Amino acid sequence: MTPFASNIINIPVSEAPTPNQKRNLLFNVEQPLELSIEEFDKEWWPLVSNIWTNFSHKNNVNGNLWEVFICRFNKPKKSSTRKEEISQEKRRVTKIRSANLCFAKIKVYRYASEQKVLIERFKDSPDHSHTLEESEKLKRSQTVQNLVMQEAIKNYRPPEIVNAVKEYATEKLDLGESVKELRRKEVTNIKYKLKNLEQHGWLTLIDSTHKTNRYDCRLFTLYIRDYYGCWNVVFVSKEDSVTIAEGLKIVRRFARHWSPRYFLSDQSNIESNSIRMAFPGLKNGEQDCDVIFCTVHIMRTWMNKIYDKKMRQKMIHAMHKRTKIGCEDLVQQAINECSITTIKNYITRNYTKNIHQWALWARQHFPLLLQVTSTNALESYHSELKSLTSPQHGLIGACHKIVELDKKKCSDSEHVAYEFRVKRISAVGVDDDILQEIHKFPFPV
């Protein structure tokens, strides 16, 4: 096909449509539409991201690509199935939405060199079998979600946020239809995430993994533990220490009261450096922030590097020593007694100046630090994630999978919180609001 045929709508800047008109143009696409990539990604697509879902795509070597999107009511992906081992009364009430309710499709071409996007109705695609309003009920668009995020960081209560977002969207953006279905519960979920990081983020686990997408971007995850011993995921980014530091700073902007005291990481210099950049600590008049190392990673490294078993035993003993003096003594002994020069040098070079980062005596004052000495929890999360993603995924595909797993983690942690507080209360017939109040009790009721 020829990319820019004459029957395409080219919208002059002076007559830029309102967000609401843009939504309608991308709902039942009557005529092909040509936009710059930037306009499309920033102003158009976020308005309808809730209507369409990925169906197929093809990348060309020259950087061009096409994607076909299908109406979310078609539900091309299979629903996850119930966990059968959960008893009837503990189950959350869920609805399974039936598939194949609508067959509308669009095709989006991206032309890299021209920086243009062409959107057209997929060949023979029918109109939607439902109204745009029904699509809005199903899911909130990216635009609305972003509005909620912006308000959520201002520390208002969820009902006020809902009102503020509705007012702004209706009056300023002509998007009344899109926000009509925004529920307090959704806002609470977003807020809950930021609040968790602020309240529990003083010990944050950080680790990265690769092979989740085809661009070889690394995925960085921050992991925090809430009151109930459940772990929560916060954030993703990629590559070198400057990028990670930028990423951390962005998270900080969203969670302004997050002041981590400890980061637990594997021995990666990239991570330590980026943390130091993002959290300069006392220098900036802020909470001091230490990077401590995962003991499992260190012992794994020692298996290779300190291949003399006796020396290794000594170092492991030093790691677990409860006093600073005792620990330093053992390290010195290991160095003195070691007959193999490479090991001797290795220990001197890598483990004498940073003892407080890997030895447990430095964590004696903090019971939780002694309980959580490894990033195992985070690693198992990453391996679970890898079973869902594939190196063939695009970034968006990978993000979808992350969000999916994240939702599961959140509902698991809600479940544990619920169990903890209301062990003996039957949830049947008890209103959500009352349950939320019960959650505030410090001990199980």
Binder to Zn ion among 25, 35, 47, 104 (CB under 5 A)?
Answer: 104
Nearest approach in angstroms of CB 120 to Zn ion is: 17
Residue whose pair of structure tokens reads 């001091």 in the numeric block: 288
296 vs 364: CA distance, rounded Å: 18
Nearest approach in angstroms of CB 279 to Zn ion is: 46
What is the spatial order of strands in the sheet that 219-225 belongs to? 231-233, 219-225, 203-209, 262-265, 290-293
User: Can you tell me whether residue 68 is helix, strand or coil?
Assistant: strand
Binder to Zn ion among 128, 191, 218, 344 (CB under 5 A)?
Answer: 128
Of 104 and 230, which CB lies nearer to Zn ion in the complex structure?
A: 104
Binder to Zn ion among 73, 262, 358, 418 (CB under 5 A)?
Answer: 73
Of 102 and 311, which CB lies nearer to Zn ion in the complex structure?
A: 102
Residue whose pair of structure tokens reads 């990629």 in the numeric block: 238
271 vs 291: CA distance, rounded Å: 9
User: Can you tell me whether residue 207 is helix, strand or coil?
Assistant: strand
189 vs 191: CA distance, rounded Å: 5
Nearest approach in angstroms of CB 33 to Zn ion is: 18
Nearest approach in angstroms of CB 51 to Zn ion is: 7
Long-range pairs for 39-42: beta carbons < 8 A, 24 or more residues apart: 40/117, 40/119
Nearest partner of 99 among 77, 126, 75, 69, judged by Cα: 75
Chain residues 28-47 in contact with Zn ion, contact rule CB under 5 A? none
For every residue of 19-50, DSSP letters joined together read HHHHHHHTTS--S-EEEEHHHIIIIIHHHHTT
Of 71 and 152, which CB lies nearer to Zn ion in the complex structure?
A: 71
Nearest approach in angstroms of CB 20 to Zn ion is: 18
Contact indicator for 248, 276 with CB cutoff of 8 Å = no
Candidates 96-104, 207-215, 224-232, 417-425: pick the segment binding Zn ion (CB under 5 A). Answer: 96-104
Chain residues 230-249 in contact with Zn ion, contact rule CB under 5 A? none
Size of the site for Zn ion (CB under 5 A): 5
Per-residue burial over 325-354, b = 16 or more CB atoms within 10 Å of its CB, e = otherwise: eebbebbeebbeebeeeebbebbeeebeee
Nearest approach in angstroms of CB 52 to Zn ion is: 9
Of 30 and 337, which CB lies nearer to Zn ion in the complex structure?
A: 30
34 vs 173: CA distance, rounded Å: 22
Of 29 and 335, which CB lies nearer to Zn ion in the complex structure?
A: 29
Chain residues 310-339 in contact with Zn ion, contact rule CB under 5 A? none
Nearest approach in angstroms of CB 130 to Zn ion is: 6
Beta bridge partners of 264: 205, 292
Candidates 100-108, 140-148, 219-227, 316-324: pick the segment binding Zn ion (CB under 5 A). Answer: 100-108
Tell whether residue 71 is a contact of Zn ion (CB under 5 A).
yes
Contact indicator for 245, 274 with CB cutoff of 8 Å = yes
Nearest partner of 393 among 250, 210, 127, 157, judged by Cα: 210
Of 106 and 161, which CB lies nearer to Zn ion in the complex structure?
A: 106
Candidates 94-102, 117-125, 197-205, 367-375: pick the segment binding Zn ion (CB under 5 A). Answer: 94-102
Of 44 and 73, which CB lies nearer to Zn ion in the complex structure?
A: 73
- C-alpha angle with apex 389: 387 to 395, nearest 5 degrees? 160
Tell whether residue 111 is a contact of Zn ion (CB under 5 A).
no
404 vs 244: CA distance, rounded Å: 23
CA distances 404 to 194, 268, 315, Å, are: 18, 28, 42
Tell whether residue 70 is a contact of Zn ion (CB under 5 A).
no
Of 129 and 301, which CB lies nearer to Zn ion in the complex structure?
A: 129
Candidates 98-106, 152-160, 256-264, 322-330: pick the segment binding Zn ion (CB under 5 A). Answer: 98-106
Q: Which two tokens stand for residue 385?
A: 């994630």
Candidates 99-107, 222-230, 408-416, 419-427: pick the segment binding Zn ion (CB under 5 A). Answer: 99-107
Nearest approach in angstroms of CB 123 to Zn ion is: 17
User: Can you tell me whether residue 334 is helix, strand or coil?
Assistant: helix
State the Cα torsion 166-172-175-176 to the nearest 10°. Answer: 50
Binder to Zn ion among 102, 148, 162, 245 (CB under 5 A)?
Answer: 102
Nearest approach in angstroms of CB 76 to Zn ion is: 12
Of 23 and 128, which CB lies nearer to Zn ion in the complex structure?
A: 128
Candidates 64-72, 191-199, 288-296, 417-425: pick the segment binding Zn ion (CB under 5 A). Answer: 64-72
Contacting residues toward Zn ion, per CB under 5 A: 71, 73, 102, 104, 128
